[in-house]
Chains A and B, each alone.
Chain A
Amino acid sequence: MSEIWAFCEETDGAPSTLGLELLAKARSLGEPTVLYAGGGSARAWETLGSHGAVRVLHFDHGDRLAAAPVAAAIAEQANEQTPAMILFGQAYTDRDVAGRLAVRLGLPVLSNAVDVTLEADGTATTRHEISGGAEIAVAAFRAPRPHLAIVRPKSFPAEPVGGPPPEVVPMEIPDVGGAGAMVTERHARERQGPDLEEAAVIVSGGRGLGAAEHYSMVESVAAPLGAATGATRAIVDAGWVPYAKQVGQTGKTVKPDVYIACGISGAMQHLVGMKDAKTIIAINKDPDAPIFTISDLGIVGDVHKVMPKLIEKLRESR
Protein backbone atom coordinates (compact mmCIF):
# COMPACT_ATOMS: atom_id res chain seq x y z
CA MET A 1 0.00 0.00 0.00
CA SER A 2 1.14 3.54 -0.74
CA GLU A 3 2.41 5.74 2.03
CA ILE A 4 0.34 8.93 2.34
CA TRP A 5 1.42 11.70 4.67
CA ALA A 6 -0.98 14.23 6.12
CA PHE A 7 0.16 17.47 7.77
CA CYS A 8 -1.59 18.39 11.01
CA GLU A 9 -0.99 21.55 13.02
CA GLU A 10 -1.75 21.57 16.73
CA THR A 11 -4.45 24.13 17.57
CA ASP A 12 -5.61 24.77 21.14
CA GLY A 13 -3.53 21.80 22.25
CA ALA A 14 -5.29 19.34 19.96
CA PRO A 15 -4.96 18.13 16.36
CA SER A 16 -6.68 20.62 14.04
CA THR A 17 -9.95 19.55 12.43
CA LEU A 18 -8.35 20.27 9.07
CA GLY A 19 -5.53 17.84 9.89
CA LEU A 20 -8.07 15.18 10.79
CA GLU A 21 -9.85 15.77 7.47
CA LEU A 22 -6.57 15.22 5.62
CA LEU A 23 -5.92 12.12 7.71
CA ALA A 24 -9.32 10.72 6.67
CA LYS A 25 -8.36 11.19 3.01
CA ALA A 26 -4.87 9.79 3.53
CA ARG A 27 -6.44 6.68 5.09
CA SER A 28 -8.69 6.17 2.08
CA LEU A 29 -5.71 6.41 -0.29
CA GLY A 30 -3.17 4.26 1.52
CA GLU A 31 -1.14 3.84 4.67
CA PRO A 32 -1.44 7.13 6.62
CA THR A 33 1.32 8.92 8.49
CA VAL A 34 0.61 12.20 10.28
CA LEU A 35 3.17 15.02 10.20
CA TYR A 36 2.32 16.66 13.51
CA ALA A 37 3.56 20.19 14.21
CA GLY A 38 3.14 21.26 17.82
CA GLY A 39 3.76 20.28 21.43
CA GLY A 40 1.89 16.99 21.30
CA SER A 41 0.29 15.02 24.15
CA ALA A 42 -1.03 11.57 24.97
CA ARG A 43 -4.51 12.87 24.21
CA ALA A 44 -3.47 14.21 20.85
CA TRP A 45 -1.97 10.81 19.94
CA GLU A 46 -5.14 9.10 21.09
CA THR A 47 -7.23 11.36 18.86
CA LEU A 48 -4.98 10.74 15.88
CA GLY A 49 -5.05 6.99 16.51
CA SER A 50 -8.82 6.94 16.75
CA HIS A 51 -8.90 8.72 13.39
CA GLY A 52 -6.81 6.00 11.85
CA ALA A 53 -3.23 7.27 12.10
CA VAL A 54 -0.73 4.41 12.16
CA ARG A 55 2.35 6.53 12.63
CA VAL A 56 3.06 10.10 13.68
CA LEU A 57 6.20 12.05 12.86
CA HIS A 58 6.31 14.63 15.63
CA PHE A 59 7.79 18.08 14.95
CA ASP A 60 7.90 20.05 18.19
CA HIS A 61 9.05 23.48 16.98
CA GLY A 62 8.31 25.34 20.21
CA ASP A 63 8.44 29.11 19.79
CA ARG A 64 10.02 28.94 16.38
CA LEU A 65 7.77 29.76 13.46
CA ALA A 66 7.01 26.33 12.01
CA ALA A 67 7.64 27.22 8.35
CA ALA A 68 11.34 26.83 7.61
CA PRO A 69 12.57 24.32 10.23
CA VAL A 70 9.56 22.01 9.92
CA ALA A 71 9.79 22.07 6.11
CA ALA A 72 13.49 21.21 6.35
CA ALA A 73 12.80 18.33 8.73
CA ILE A 74 9.98 16.95 6.56
CA ALA A 75 12.15 17.23 3.45
CA GLU A 76 14.77 15.05 5.05
CA GLN A 77 12.20 12.34 5.86
CA ALA A 78 10.53 12.60 2.46
CA ASN A 79 13.84 12.15 0.68
CA GLU A 80 14.52 9.01 2.65
CA GLN A 81 11.08 7.43 2.59
CA THR A 82 9.50 8.83 -0.60
CA PRO A 83 5.80 8.68 0.28
CA ALA A 84 3.38 8.70 -2.65
CA MET A 85 1.71 11.90 -1.58
CA ILE A 86 1.87 14.62 1.08
CA LEU A 87 -1.36 16.43 1.89
CA PHE A 88 -1.60 19.91 3.37
CA GLY A 89 -4.65 22.07 4.11
CA GLN A 90 -5.39 25.50 2.69
CA ALA A 91 -4.41 27.19 5.97
CA TYR A 92 -1.69 29.57 7.14
CA THR A 93 0.94 27.26 8.59
CA ASP A 94 0.18 24.48 6.13
CA ARG A 95 0.88 26.83 3.22
CA ASP A 96 4.07 28.13 4.84
CA VAL A 97 5.43 24.62 5.27
CA ALA A 98 4.20 23.28 1.92
CA GLY A 99 5.74 26.12 -0.10
CA ARG A 100 9.14 25.75 1.51
CA LEU A 101 9.00 21.96 1.30
CA ALA A 102 8.24 22.14 -2.43
CA VAL A 103 11.41 24.17 -2.97
CA ARG A 104 13.49 21.79 -0.85
CA LEU A 105 12.24 18.81 -2.86
CA GLY A 106 12.24 20.69 -6.18
CA LEU A 107 8.68 19.56 -6.77
CA PRO A 108 5.47 21.36 -7.70
CA VAL A 109 2.68 21.80 -5.19
CA LEU A 110 -0.92 21.97 -6.34
CA SER A 111 -3.01 24.41 -4.29
CA ASN A 112 -6.70 24.86 -3.72
CA ALA A 113 -7.62 21.26 -4.44
CA VAL A 114 -11.02 19.96 -3.38
CA ASP A 115 -10.09 16.34 -4.01
CA VAL A 116 -7.09 14.20 -4.85
CA THR A 117 -6.82 10.80 -6.52
CA LEU A 118 -4.10 8.21 -6.67
CA GLU A 119 -4.29 5.44 -9.25
CA ALA A 120 -2.79 1.99 -8.89
CA ASP A 121 -0.25 2.82 -11.61
CA GLY A 122 0.97 5.73 -9.47
CA THR A 123 -0.58 8.59 -11.43
CA ALA A 124 -2.10 11.25 -9.24
CA THR A 125 -4.55 14.06 -9.90
CA THR A 126 -6.05 16.96 -8.03
CA ARG A 127 -9.42 18.58 -8.59
CA HIS A 128 -9.91 22.32 -8.41
CA GLU A 129 -13.00 24.44 -8.49
CA ILE A 130 -12.80 27.19 -11.06
CA SER A 131 -15.24 29.86 -12.21
CA GLY A 132 -16.60 30.16 -8.66
CA GLY A 133 -17.28 26.45 -8.45
CA ALA A 134 -19.20 26.09 -11.72
CA GLU A 135 -16.45 23.96 -13.21
CA ILE A 136 -13.85 21.51 -11.98
CA ALA A 137 -10.36 21.49 -13.44
CA VAL A 138 -8.56 18.17 -13.14
CA ALA A 139 -4.78 18.51 -12.92
CA ALA A 140 -2.22 15.75 -13.13
CA PHE A 141 1.20 15.72 -11.48
CA ARG A 142 4.00 15.55 -14.03
CA ALA A 143 6.82 15.15 -11.57
CA PRO A 144 8.31 12.40 -9.44
CA ARG A 145 6.99 11.48 -5.99
CA PRO A 146 6.03 12.63 -3.49
CA HIS A 147 3.10 14.55 -4.95
CA LEU A 148 2.38 17.64 -2.89
CA ALA A 149 -1.17 18.96 -2.65
CA ILE A 150 -2.88 21.68 -0.65
CA VAL A 151 -6.54 20.91 -0.06
CA ARG A 152 -9.34 23.26 0.91
CA PRO A 153 -10.89 22.79 4.36
CA LYS A 154 -14.12 20.76 4.58
CA SER A 155 -13.26 18.80 1.45
CA PHE A 156 -13.38 15.52 3.37
CA PRO A 157 -15.31 14.64 6.54
CA ALA A 158 -13.11 13.95 9.59
CA GLU A 159 -14.48 10.72 10.99
CA PRO A 160 -13.19 8.66 13.90
CA VAL A 161 -12.80 5.03 12.90
CA GLY A 162 -11.43 3.68 16.17
CA GLY A 163 -7.83 2.61 16.39
CA PRO A 164 -5.01 2.25 18.88
CA PRO A 165 -2.61 5.10 19.63
CA PRO A 166 -0.12 5.38 16.79
CA GLU A 167 3.62 4.95 16.86
CA VAL A 168 5.03 8.42 17.59
CA VAL A 169 8.48 9.26 16.25
CA PRO A 170 10.02 12.47 17.62
CA MET A 171 11.81 14.45 14.92
CA GLU A 172 14.80 16.69 15.28
CA ILE A 173 14.12 20.37 14.45
CA PRO A 174 17.12 21.60 12.44
CA ASP A 175 18.70 25.02 12.73
CA VAL A 176 17.81 26.96 9.59
CA GLY A 177 19.82 30.09 10.36
CA GLY A 178 18.51 33.25 8.70
CA ALA A 179 15.44 31.48 7.34
CA GLY A 180 14.07 31.07 10.85
CA ALA A 181 11.68 33.33 12.76
CA MET A 182 10.48 33.44 16.35
CA VAL A 183 6.97 33.72 17.73
CA THR A 184 7.26 36.08 20.69
CA GLU A 185 3.58 36.53 21.64
CA ARG A 186 0.32 34.76 20.94
CA HIS A 187 -3.03 36.52 21.09
CA ALA A 188 -6.34 34.71 20.92
CA ARG A 189 -9.48 36.67 20.33
CA GLU A 190 -12.26 35.94 22.76
CA ARG A 191 -14.73 33.68 21.14
CA GLN A 192 -18.37 34.64 21.22
CA GLY A 193 -21.14 32.20 20.34
CA PRO A 194 -20.70 29.04 18.33
CA ASP A 195 -17.71 28.44 16.10
CA LEU A 196 -18.25 29.30 12.41
CA GLU A 197 -16.64 26.11 11.21
CA GLU A 198 -18.73 23.86 13.46
CA ALA A 199 -22.12 25.65 13.48
CA ALA A 200 -25.18 23.98 11.96
CA VAL A 201 -26.66 27.36 11.06
CA ILE A 202 -24.79 30.47 9.94
CA VAL A 203 -26.21 33.94 9.42
CA SER A 204 -23.91 36.21 7.40
CA GLY A 205 -24.02 39.86 6.52
CA GLY A 206 -22.59 41.95 3.71
CA ARG A 207 -22.32 45.53 2.59
CA GLY A 208 -26.05 45.56 1.86
CA LEU A 209 -26.66 45.97 5.61
CA GLY A 210 -25.67 49.58 4.99
CA ALA A 211 -23.72 50.36 8.15
CA ALA A 212 -21.70 48.68 10.89
CA GLU A 213 -24.44 49.11 13.49
CA HIS A 214 -26.91 47.16 11.36
CA TYR A 215 -24.81 44.02 11.79
CA SER A 216 -26.80 43.66 15.03
CA MET A 217 -29.67 42.44 12.83
CA VAL A 218 -27.49 39.51 11.78
CA GLU A 219 -26.78 38.75 15.44
CA SER A 220 -30.47 38.99 16.32
CA VAL A 221 -31.44 36.49 13.63
CA ALA A 222 -28.59 34.21 14.74
CA ALA A 223 -29.27 34.24 18.50
CA PRO A 224 -32.65 32.46 18.56
CA LEU A 225 -31.34 29.92 16.03
CA GLY A 226 -28.19 29.23 18.04
CA ALA A 227 -26.35 30.18 14.86
CA ALA A 228 -22.83 31.47 14.25
CA THR A 229 -22.41 34.83 12.52
CA GLY A 230 -20.34 35.39 9.39
CA ALA A 231 -19.40 38.19 7.04
CA THR A 232 -18.06 39.11 3.62
CA ARG A 233 -14.62 40.53 3.13
CA ALA A 234 -16.16 43.86 2.14
CA ILE A 235 -17.43 44.47 5.67
CA VAL A 236 -14.37 42.95 7.32
CA ASP A 237 -12.16 45.34 5.34
CA ALA A 238 -14.50 48.18 6.27
CA GLY A 239 -13.87 47.32 9.92
CA TRP A 240 -17.49 46.47 10.77
CA VAL A 241 -16.60 43.02 12.12
CA PRO A 242 -13.37 41.15 12.91
CA TYR A 243 -11.55 39.08 10.30
CA ALA A 244 -12.39 35.88 12.18
CA LYS A 245 -15.92 36.16 10.77
CA GLN A 246 -14.89 36.29 7.14
CA VAL A 247 -16.28 33.53 4.95
CA GLY A 248 -14.75 32.84 1.55
CA GLN A 249 -11.59 32.28 -0.40
CA THR A 250 -9.40 34.21 2.02
CA GLY A 251 -11.58 33.51 5.04
CA LYS A 252 -13.25 30.42 6.40
CA THR A 253 -14.79 27.59 4.43
CA VAL A 254 -18.08 26.55 5.98
CA LYS A 255 -20.53 23.75 5.35
CA PRO A 256 -23.54 24.31 7.63
CA ASP A 257 -27.04 22.86 7.28
CA VAL A 258 -28.38 26.36 6.65
CA TYR A 259 -26.60 29.52 5.48
CA ILE A 260 -28.54 32.78 5.51
CA ALA A 261 -26.90 35.53 3.41
CA CYS A 262 -28.14 39.04 4.19
CA GLY A 263 -27.17 41.88 1.85
CA ILE A 264 -24.47 39.79 0.18
CA SER A 265 -23.95 40.01 -3.58
CA GLY A 266 -22.45 36.54 -3.97
CA ALA A 267 -19.01 37.31 -5.39
CA MET A 268 -17.09 34.26 -6.56
CA GLN A 269 -14.63 34.62 -3.66
CA HIS A 270 -17.48 34.53 -1.16
CA LEU A 271 -19.31 31.65 -2.83
CA VAL A 272 -16.34 29.27 -2.72
CA GLY A 273 -16.45 29.49 1.06
CA MET A 274 -20.14 28.68 1.58
CA LYS A 275 -21.71 27.13 -1.51
CA ASP A 276 -21.62 23.65 -0.01
CA ALA A 277 -24.13 24.56 2.69
CA LYS A 278 -27.10 22.16 2.52
CA THR A 279 -29.66 24.95 2.34
CA ILE A 280 -28.89 28.52 1.26
CA ILE A 281 -31.26 31.38 1.94
CA ALA A 282 -30.51 34.87 0.62
CA ILE A 283 -32.02 38.30 1.10
CA ASN A 284 -30.93 40.88 -1.47
CA LYS A 285 -32.74 43.81 -3.04
CA ASP A 286 -31.19 43.18 -6.45
CA PRO A 287 -33.04 40.40 -8.33
CA ASP A 288 -29.91 39.83 -10.45
CA ALA A 289 -27.55 39.33 -7.50
CA PRO A 290 -25.36 36.25 -8.19
CA ILE A 291 -26.13 34.85 -4.73
CA PHE A 292 -29.59 33.92 -6.05
CA THR A 293 -28.10 31.51 -8.60
CA ILE A 294 -27.12 29.14 -5.79
CA SER A 295 -29.87 29.89 -3.28
CA ASP A 296 -32.56 27.40 -2.37
CA LEU A 297 -34.69 30.34 -1.32
CA GLY A 298 -34.05 33.87 -2.49
CA ILE A 299 -35.99 36.83 -1.15
CA VAL A 300 -35.76 39.90 -3.34
CA GLY A 301 -36.19 42.57 -0.73
CA ASP A 302 -34.73 45.09 1.68
CA VAL A 303 -32.87 43.67 4.67
CA HIS A 304 -34.32 46.47 6.78
CA LYS A 305 -37.83 45.25 6.04
CA VAL A 306 -37.36 41.48 5.99
CA MET A 307 -34.93 40.96 8.87
CA PRO A 308 -36.81 42.82 11.65
CA LYS A 309 -39.96 40.80 10.91
CA LEU A 310 -37.96 37.60 10.82
CA ILE A 311 -36.34 38.45 14.16
CA GLU A 312 -39.74 39.08 15.73
CA LYS A 313 -41.16 35.77 14.50
CA LEU A 314 -38.10 33.82 15.59
CA ARG A 315 -38.31 35.33 19.06
CA GLU A 316 -42.01 34.51 19.29
CA SER A 317 -41.55 30.93 18.22
CA ARG A 318 -38.88 30.29 20.80
Chain B
Amino acid sequence: MRILVCVKQIPDPANPSRFDPETHRLVRTEDQILDDTDRYGVEMGLRLAEAHEGTVTLVSMGPVGRAQGIRQALAMGADQAVMIEDETLAGADALTTARVLSAAVERTGFDLVICGPESTDGYSGVVPQMMAELLGVAALTYATRVEVSGDGVTIHRQTSAGYDVVTADLPALVSVTAGVVEPRYPTFRGIMQARQKPTETLEVSDLGVDVSVGQEVISVVPAPERTAGVVAEDEGEGHLLILEKLQEAKVI
Protein backbone atom coordinates (compact mmCIF):
# COMPACT_ATOMS: atom_id res chain seq x y z
CA MET B 1 0.00 0.00 0.00
CA ARG B 2 1.34 3.41 -0.97
CA ILE B 3 0.70 5.81 1.90
CA LEU B 4 1.44 9.48 1.38
CA VAL B 5 1.54 11.74 4.42
CA CYS B 6 1.28 15.50 3.91
CA VAL B 7 3.46 17.24 6.43
CA LYS B 8 4.17 20.89 6.77
CA GLN B 9 7.31 22.55 8.02
CA ILE B 10 6.52 25.57 10.12
CA PRO B 11 8.56 28.25 11.82
CA ASP B 12 9.48 27.15 15.31
CA PRO B 13 6.61 28.43 17.51
CA ALA B 14 9.21 29.07 20.20
CA ASN B 15 10.58 31.66 17.79
CA PRO B 16 7.47 33.46 16.56
CA SER B 17 7.10 34.99 13.12
CA ARG B 18 5.58 38.39 12.58
CA PHE B 19 3.54 40.20 10.00
CA ASP B 20 5.45 42.50 7.71
CA PRO B 21 3.41 45.75 7.68
CA GLU B 22 4.63 46.57 4.14
CA THR B 23 4.00 43.31 2.32
CA HIS B 24 1.33 41.96 4.70
CA ARG B 25 3.01 38.63 4.64
CA LEU B 26 4.17 36.44 7.44
CA VAL B 27 7.87 36.96 7.95
CA ARG B 28 9.01 33.52 8.96
CA THR B 29 11.99 32.76 11.04
CA GLU B 30 14.71 30.72 9.41
CA ASP B 31 14.08 27.68 11.59
CA GLN B 32 11.65 25.20 10.15
CA ILE B 33 10.37 22.37 12.28
CA LEU B 34 7.83 19.64 11.66
CA ASP B 35 4.35 20.90 12.51
CA ASP B 36 3.49 19.13 15.74
CA THR B 37 0.00 18.20 14.50
CA ASP B 38 1.53 16.36 11.53
CA ARG B 39 3.44 13.97 13.80
CA TYR B 40 0.12 12.19 14.36
CA GLY B 41 -0.37 11.68 10.64
CA VAL B 42 3.16 10.33 10.30
CA GLU B 43 2.58 7.92 13.18
CA MET B 44 -0.73 6.77 11.70
CA GLY B 45 0.93 6.27 8.32
CA LEU B 46 3.75 4.23 9.83
CA ARG B 47 1.32 1.98 11.72
CA LEU B 48 -0.80 1.35 8.64
CA ALA B 49 2.33 0.68 6.57
CA GLU B 50 3.54 -1.83 9.17
CA ALA B 51 0.18 -3.61 9.18
CA HIS B 52 -0.38 -3.62 5.42
CA GLU B 53 3.08 -3.97 3.91
CA GLY B 54 3.09 -0.38 2.84
CA THR B 55 5.49 2.45 2.26
CA VAL B 56 5.28 5.94 3.70
CA THR B 57 6.16 8.88 1.47
CA LEU B 58 6.14 12.39 2.88
CA VAL B 59 4.82 15.21 0.72
CA SER B 60 5.60 18.74 1.73
CA MET B 61 5.47 22.19 0.22
CA GLY B 62 7.74 24.66 1.92
CA PRO B 63 10.41 27.30 1.79
CA VAL B 64 13.34 26.75 -0.53
CA GLY B 65 16.27 24.85 0.92
CA ARG B 66 14.80 23.93 4.29
CA ALA B 67 14.49 20.29 5.22
CA GLN B 68 14.92 20.23 8.98
CA GLY B 69 11.27 19.35 9.64
CA ILE B 70 11.21 16.73 6.87
CA ARG B 71 14.24 15.05 8.39
CA GLN B 72 12.35 14.87 11.70
CA ALA B 73 9.58 12.90 10.00
CA LEU B 74 12.05 10.71 8.07
CA ALA B 75 13.77 9.97 11.36
CA MET B 76 10.46 8.72 12.76
CA GLY B 77 10.54 6.07 10.04
CA ALA B 78 9.03 7.43 6.82
CA ASP B 79 10.69 5.92 3.74
CA GLN B 80 11.13 8.91 1.47
CA ALA B 81 10.07 12.47 0.85
CA VAL B 82 8.83 14.64 -1.99
CA MET B 83 9.39 18.33 -1.41
CA ILE B 84 7.96 21.15 -3.45
CA GLU B 85 10.03 24.30 -3.18
CA ASP B 86 9.51 27.33 -5.34
CA GLU B 87 9.91 31.04 -4.76
CA THR B 88 6.59 31.69 -6.48
CA LEU B 89 4.81 29.74 -3.75
CA ALA B 90 5.62 32.19 -0.96
CA GLY B 91 2.31 33.37 0.46
CA ALA B 92 0.33 30.69 -1.40
CA ASP B 93 -3.29 30.39 -0.32
CA ALA B 94 -5.09 27.17 0.59
CA LEU B 95 -6.32 26.49 -2.94
CA THR B 96 -2.87 26.89 -4.48
CA THR B 97 -1.34 24.77 -1.71
CA ALA B 98 -3.91 22.05 -2.38
CA ARG B 99 -3.30 22.21 -6.13
CA VAL B 100 0.44 21.86 -5.67
CA LEU B 101 0.19 19.05 -3.12
CA SER B 102 -2.38 17.05 -5.05
CA ALA B 103 -0.35 17.35 -8.25
CA ALA B 104 2.66 15.96 -6.39
CA VAL B 105 0.50 13.21 -4.86
CA GLU B 106 -0.86 12.23 -8.25
CA ARG B 107 2.60 12.18 -9.77
CA THR B 108 3.87 9.90 -7.00
CA GLY B 109 0.86 7.57 -7.01
CA PHE B 110 -1.10 6.64 -3.88
CA ASP B 111 -3.62 4.41 -2.17
CA LEU B 112 -4.09 6.55 0.90
CA VAL B 113 -3.24 10.17 1.64
CA ILE B 114 -3.02 11.27 5.27
CA CYS B 115 -3.24 14.89 6.39
CA GLY B 116 -3.65 16.75 9.65
CA PRO B 117 -6.95 18.52 10.27
CA GLU B 118 -5.30 21.93 10.27
CA SER B 119 -1.81 23.32 10.31
CA THR B 120 -0.53 25.23 13.31
CA ASP B 121 0.53 28.35 11.44
CA GLY B 122 -1.95 28.47 8.56
CA TYR B 123 -4.96 26.71 10.06
CA SER B 124 -7.17 27.19 7.05
CA GLY B 125 -8.41 23.67 7.74
CA VAL B 126 -9.47 23.10 4.13
CA VAL B 127 -6.34 21.90 2.33
CA PRO B 128 -7.19 18.17 2.84
CA GLN B 129 -10.74 18.53 1.50
CA MET B 130 -9.51 20.55 -1.44
CA MET B 131 -6.88 17.94 -2.23
CA ALA B 132 -9.49 15.17 -2.12
CA GLU B 133 -11.73 17.04 -4.53
CA LEU B 134 -8.81 17.62 -6.89
CA LEU B 135 -7.84 13.95 -6.69
CA GLY B 136 -11.44 12.80 -7.13
CA VAL B 137 -11.41 10.74 -3.93
CA ALA B 138 -13.31 10.75 -0.64
CA ALA B 139 -11.98 12.78 2.29
CA LEU B 140 -12.67 11.05 5.59
CA THR B 141 -11.99 13.91 7.92
CA TYR B 142 -11.28 14.39 11.65
CA ALA B 143 -10.50 10.72 12.18
CA THR B 144 -9.96 9.50 15.72
CA ARG B 145 -9.46 5.95 14.44
CA VAL B 146 -8.45 4.59 11.03
CA GLU B 147 -8.77 1.04 9.73
CA VAL B 148 -7.85 -0.23 6.30
CA SER B 149 -9.24 -3.53 5.11
CA GLY B 150 -9.29 -4.94 1.61
CA ASP B 151 -9.87 -2.06 -0.71
CA GLY B 152 -11.68 0.17 1.76
CA VAL B 153 -10.97 2.51 4.63
CA THR B 154 -13.17 3.07 7.69
CA ILE B 155 -12.73 5.79 10.27
CA HIS B 156 -14.33 7.20 13.38
CA ARG B 157 -15.13 10.76 12.41
CA GLN B 158 -15.30 13.22 15.26
CA THR B 159 -18.61 15.12 15.39
CA SER B 160 -19.89 17.75 17.76
CA ALA B 161 -22.14 15.13 19.38
CA GLY B 162 -19.70 12.21 19.49
CA TYR B 163 -18.47 10.28 16.46
CA ASP B 164 -19.72 8.71 13.24
CA VAL B 165 -18.36 5.63 11.54
CA VAL B 166 -17.57 6.57 7.94
CA THR B 167 -16.37 4.31 5.17
CA ALA B 168 -15.13 4.73 1.59
CA ASP B 169 -13.24 2.90 -1.13
CA LEU B 170 -9.51 3.30 -1.64
CA PRO B 171 -7.85 5.37 -2.93
CA ALA B 172 -8.93 7.94 -0.36
CA LEU B 173 -7.71 10.71 1.89
CA VAL B 174 -8.05 10.88 5.67
CA SER B 175 -7.30 13.70 8.07
CA VAL B 176 -6.34 12.58 11.54
CA THR B 177 -6.95 14.47 14.72
CA ALA B 178 -4.12 15.09 17.16
CA GLY B 179 -4.00 12.79 20.14
CA VAL B 180 -5.33 9.65 18.39
CA VAL B 181 -2.01 7.83 18.40
CA GLU B 182 1.12 8.53 20.38
CA PRO B 183 3.77 9.70 17.88
CA ARG B 184 7.01 7.77 18.30
CA TYR B 185 10.25 9.54 19.04
CA PRO B 186 13.00 9.16 16.49
CA THR B 187 15.67 6.72 17.58
CA PHE B 188 19.35 7.51 17.16
CA ARG B 189 19.45 4.99 14.34
CA GLY B 190 16.43 6.66 12.74
CA ILE B 191 18.12 10.04 12.88
CA MET B 192 21.25 8.65 11.24
CA GLN B 193 19.25 6.85 8.54
CA ALA B 194 17.16 9.93 7.77
CA ARG B 195 20.12 11.54 6.04
CA GLN B 196 20.39 8.72 3.52
CA LYS B 197 16.73 8.40 2.64
CA PRO B 198 15.64 9.36 -0.87
CA THR B 199 14.22 12.85 -1.25
CA GLU B 200 12.97 14.46 -4.39
CA THR B 201 12.67 18.20 -4.85
CA LEU B 202 10.12 19.57 -7.31
CA GLU B 203 9.31 23.02 -8.60
CA VAL B 204 5.98 24.40 -9.75
CA SER B 205 7.00 23.91 -13.39
CA ASP B 206 7.39 20.17 -12.74
CA LEU B 207 3.77 20.02 -11.70
CA GLY B 208 2.06 22.31 -14.19
CA VAL B 209 0.02 24.05 -11.55
CA ASP B 210 -1.48 27.48 -11.91
CA VAL B 211 -0.32 29.63 -9.01
CA SER B 212 -2.92 32.28 -8.41
CA VAL B 213 -3.68 34.13 -5.26
CA GLY B 214 -7.29 35.07 -4.76
CA GLN B 215 -6.94 36.91 -1.51
CA GLU B 216 -4.81 39.65 -0.09
CA VAL B 217 -4.28 40.96 3.39
CA ILE B 218 -4.91 44.68 3.05
CA SER B 219 -4.35 45.84 6.60
CA VAL B 220 -3.57 44.72 10.10
CA VAL B 221 -5.20 46.66 12.88
CA PRO B 222 -5.01 46.26 16.63
CA ALA B 223 -8.00 44.40 18.08
CA PRO B 224 -10.16 46.17 20.60
CA GLU B 225 -7.97 45.68 23.62
CA ARG B 226 -9.15 43.57 26.48
CA THR B 227 -7.59 45.23 29.47
CA ALA B 228 -6.23 43.01 32.16
CA GLY B 229 -8.01 43.57 35.43
CA VAL B 230 -6.81 42.91 38.92
CA VAL B 231 -4.14 40.31 39.54
CA ALA B 232 -3.85 39.41 43.20
CA GLU B 233 -1.56 37.04 45.08
CA ASP B 234 -3.51 34.42 47.05
CA GLU B 235 -2.72 34.73 50.71
CA GLY B 236 -5.58 32.56 51.83
CA GLU B 237 -8.33 34.95 50.71
CA GLY B 238 -8.19 34.53 46.95
CA HIS B 239 -11.46 32.63 46.87
CA LEU B 240 -13.26 35.59 48.46
CA LEU B 241 -12.18 37.84 45.59
CA ILE B 242 -13.60 35.27 43.19
CA LEU B 243 -16.92 35.19 45.07
CA GLU B 244 -17.06 38.98 44.92
CA LYS B 245 -16.46 38.92 41.18
CA LEU B 246 -19.19 36.29 40.70
CA GLN B 247 -21.60 38.51 42.60
CA GLU B 248 -20.61 41.50 40.53
CA ALA B 249 -21.33 39.45 37.38
CA LYS B 250 -24.69 38.51 38.93
CA VAL B 251 -24.22 34.78 38.58
CA ILE B 252 -24.66 34.19 42.31
Q: Does B249 lie at the interface of the complex (its beta carbon under 8 Å from any beta carbon of A)? A: yes
Residue pair A103, B220 in contact (C-beta under 8 Å): no
Please give, as numbers and ranges, the residues of chain B lying within 8 Å of A100 by CB-CB distance. 129-130, 132-133, 139
How many B residues touch the partner, as a band? 35 or more
Q: Residue of B at shortest CB range from A95?
A: B125
A residues sitting closer than 8 Å to B (CB atoms) are: 11-12, 65, 67-68, 71, 90-92, 95-96, 98-100, 102-104, 106-112, 125, 129-130, 133-143, 150, 177-189, 200-201, 225, 233, 236-237, 243-244, 249-250, 257-258, 260, 275, 278-279, 281, 283, 287, 292-302, 305-307, 309-310, 313-314, 317
- Complex Cα distance A137/B220, Å? 4
Task: Please pick, from A71, A133, A182, the residue contacting B223 in the complex, using a CB distance under 8 A.
Answer: A133
Residue pair A299, B238 in contact (C-beta under 8 Å): yes
- Complex Cα distance A104/B243, Å? 54
Give the Cβ gap from A183 to chain B, nearest Cβ, in Å.
5
Instruction: With A102-B94, A243-B179, A257-B250 given, name 12 new contacts (CB 8 A).
Output: A95-B126, A98-B126, A108-B213, A109-B95, A111-B123, A134-B222, A138-B221, A178-B169, A188-B162, A236-B179, A279-B245, A298-B230
Given contacts A129-B223, A134-B222, A310-B243, A108 and B215 within 8 Å (CB-CB): yes
Given contacts A181-B138, A283-B238, A298 and B19 within 8 Å (CB-CB): no
Please give, as numbers and ranges, the residues of chain B lying within 8 Å of A12 by CB-CB distance. 161
Q: Residue of B at shortest CB range from A98?
A: B126
Give the Cβ gap from B219 to chain A, nearest Cβ, in Å.
5
Task: Please pick, from A95, A108, A178, A294, the residue contacting B137 in the complex, using a CB distance under 8 A.
Answer: A178
Please give, as numbers and ranges, the residues of chain A lying within 8 Å of B248 by CB-CB distance. 279
Please give, as numbers and ranges, the residues of chain A lying within 8 Å of B134 by CB-CB distance. 103
Q: Residue of B at shortest CB range from A285?
A: B234
Please give, as numbers and ranges, the residues of chain B lying within 8 Å of A182 by CB-CB distance. 166-168
Across the A-B interface, give the 5 residue pairs with the lowest CB-CB distance, nearest first: A301-B234, A99-B129, A108-B214, A99-B126, A143-B214
A-B contact pairs, 24 of them (CB 8 A): A90-B125, A99-B126, A103-B133, A108-B94, A133-B226, A134-B222, A135-B223, A136-B221, A142-B213, A179-B137, A188-B162, A189-B161, A257-B251, A296-B245, A297-B231, A298-B228, A299-B231, A299-B232, A300-B233, A301-B234, A302-B234, A306-B242, A307-B239, A309-B238
Give the Cβ gap from B11 to chain A, nearest Cβ, in Å.
14
- Complex Cα distance A99/B125, Å? 9
- Complex Cα distance A306/B160, Å? 33
Please give, as numbers and ranges, the residues of chain B lying within 8 Å of A108 by CB-CB distance. 93-95, 213-215
